[in-house]
Amino acid sequence: MVSKVISAAYLTLWISSSVFTSAQDPYMTRALELMSKTPLIDGHNDLPWQLRLQFNNELNKVDLNTLETTHTNIPKIKAGRLGAQFWSAYVPCESQYKDAVRQTLEQIDVVHRMCEKYPETFMFATSSQDIMEAFNTNRTASLIGVEGGHSLDSSLATLRTMYHLGVRYLTLTHSCNTPWADNWLVDTGSEPSQHNGLSTFGKQLILEMNRLGMLIDLAHVTEAVMNQVLDMSQAPVIFSHSSAYSVCPHKRNVPDDVLLKVNQTGGIVMVNFYNDYVTCSKTAKISNVADHFDHIKKVAGAGIIGFGGDYDGVTRLPEGLEDVSKVPKVVAELLRRGWTDEEVNAALGNNLLRVLSQAEKVRDALKETRPDDVPIPYDEHSSGLRV
């Protein structure tokens, strides 16, 4: 319970700012109305990495109510109406073949501890149903995505164990090849392809993720991997933080033919706000971000779009989108551009909810299938180290 003095002060602030926004911008008023009924679900936020980088994961020494050295804190989350977040359990590629698994467990642990420390703000979540329960009780549903297959050390047992710890997506690679999948840098020509996409073990892993109900994230992989997974996965896939290649030709972005396949398979592309992926330059504006939303809608429909801001994982964000409190401005911009309420609600959260519940259905349909216990061939496991 907040003291009367403080809540009166907040109330005055709230009234004056909401009068200001509605007088200034009816689209913002409409955006906030829609966001009060449909959760904004964001695909990728690196706050856990900042907790490691800045505080060695010593959460007891951090106050998320006042933290100012990150894009994300509790007041910003509330102002940004963040309904659900996939928190990224990311560890650098340098940990591959070393202590990647331990470091990833530490990142998973810090998300669990964050939810326990601030139960009024966060609800740990592992399902589409959890997301709605958190939203209906005014908390941010907190899911975990592991960013990079190197975090598994090529072990299906590690994949399964991470699922049990609550992990609900795996980005197949970060910016390094794993012994079973190629990363996007291969498409830039700066690294050689090792697998022409996925190896046989990589394909086993896709089916095991389908069986578990873990979402397959294709941000960071090569186009060959995107296409192979789209062709074989039984569940729809996600791009947790990627934008449109036709708007900004960066190899981290998604080309139009892949957007069409995402439409055909019912998946989602969650738009990244990083300037370098938005405009292919160091600067960007909100309108440039909205251009990605418009383009994806034009090519493949509003049914495959989502938000994947990449806050706290990037160094440059568009003017006006400097932290997570600003996301409603994108929603207002889409309304200004003629997006219908239904299209906006789809992009906010309904698309991701559809994808996650479909993955849950595939899991349920496969419950008689046995876990895959065939390991990666011994001589492939350390192929990244072979010279």
Ligand X SMILES: *[C@@H]1O[C@H](CO)[C@@H](O)[C@H](O)[C@H]1NC(C)=O
Q: Classify the C-alpha dihedral 60-65-67-71 as positive or negative.
A: positive
Active site residue 381: no
Active site residue 372: no
Backbone phi and psi for residue 375, each to the nearest 5 degrees, phi listed first: -75, 165
263 binds ligand X, rule: CB under 6 A: yes
Beta bridge pairs of residue 84 = 41, 141
Residues in Cβ contact with 224 at an 8 Å cutoff, skipping those fewer than 6 apart: 182, 193, 196, 197
Beta pairing class for 40-45 and 82-89: parallel
| Token pair of 113 as six digits | 């501890």
Active site residue 112: no
- How far apart are CB 61 and ligand X at their closest, in Å? 30
The H or E element spanning position 89 is strand 82-89
DSSP class of residue 285? B
Residue closer to ligand X (CB basis): 325 or 358 = 358
Start-to-end Cα distance in the chain: 62
| Per annotation, catalytic residue among 147, 182, 291, 333 | 147
Active site residue 174: yes
Of residues 92, 255, 266, 320, which one binds ligand X by CB under 6 A?
266
- How far apart are CB 337 and ligand X at their closest, in Å? 19
Residues in Cβ contact with 289 at an 8 Å cutoff, skipping those fewer than 6 apart: 271, 273, 278, 318, 321, 330, 333
| Per annotation, catalytic residue among 44, 71, 150, 250 | 44
Cβ-based burial of 116 (10 A; exposed 0-12, middle 13-18, buried ≥19) = exposed
- How far apart are CB 201 and ligand X at their closest, in Å? 30
- How far apart are CB 123 and ligand X at their closest, in Å? 11
Query: x/- string (CB under 6 A) for ligand X, residues 286-315?
Result: ---------------x-xx-----------
- Residues 240-259 as b/e (b if ≥16 CB within 10 A, e otherwise) read bbbbbbbbbebbbbbbeebb
32 binds ligand X, rule: CB under 6 A: no
- Residues 79-88 as b/e (b if ≥16 CB within 10 A, e otherwise) read bbbbbbbbbb
Active site residue 241: yes
For 86, the 3-state DSSP assignment is: strand
Query: x/- string (CB under 6 A) for ligand X, residues 141-160?
Result: --------------------
Residue closer to ligand X (CB basis): 137 or 283 = 137
Residue closer to ligand X (CB basis): 255 or 375 = 255
| Per annotation, catalytic residue among 71, 150, 241, 295 | 241
- How far apart are CB 303 and ligand X at their closest, in Å? 2
Residue closer to ligand X (CB basis): 123 or 321 = 123
**Alpha-carbon separation of residue 244 from 254, 300, 387 (angstroms):** 5, 11, 36
327 binds ligand X, rule: CB under 6 A: no
| Per annotation, catalytic residue among 42, 71, 130, 174 | 174
Of residues 56, 138, 369, 382, which one binds ligand X by CB under 6 A?
138
Active site residue 164: no
Active site residue 312: no
For residues 336 and 27, give the distance between their C-alpha atoms in angstroms, rounded to a whole number: 6
| Per annotation, catalytic residue among 42, 46, 182, 294 | 46
- How far apart are CB 240 and ligand X at their closest, in Å? 17
Considering CB under 6 A, how many residues would be counted as binding ligand X?
A: 7
Residue closer to ligand X (CB basis): 37 or 98 = 37
Q: Which residue is nearest to ligand X (CB)?
A: 303
Q: Among all residues, which ones are annotated catalytic?
A: 44, 46, 147, 174, 220, 241, 310
The residues of the shown chain that bind ligand X, judged by CB under 6 A, are 137-138, 263, 266, 301, 303-304
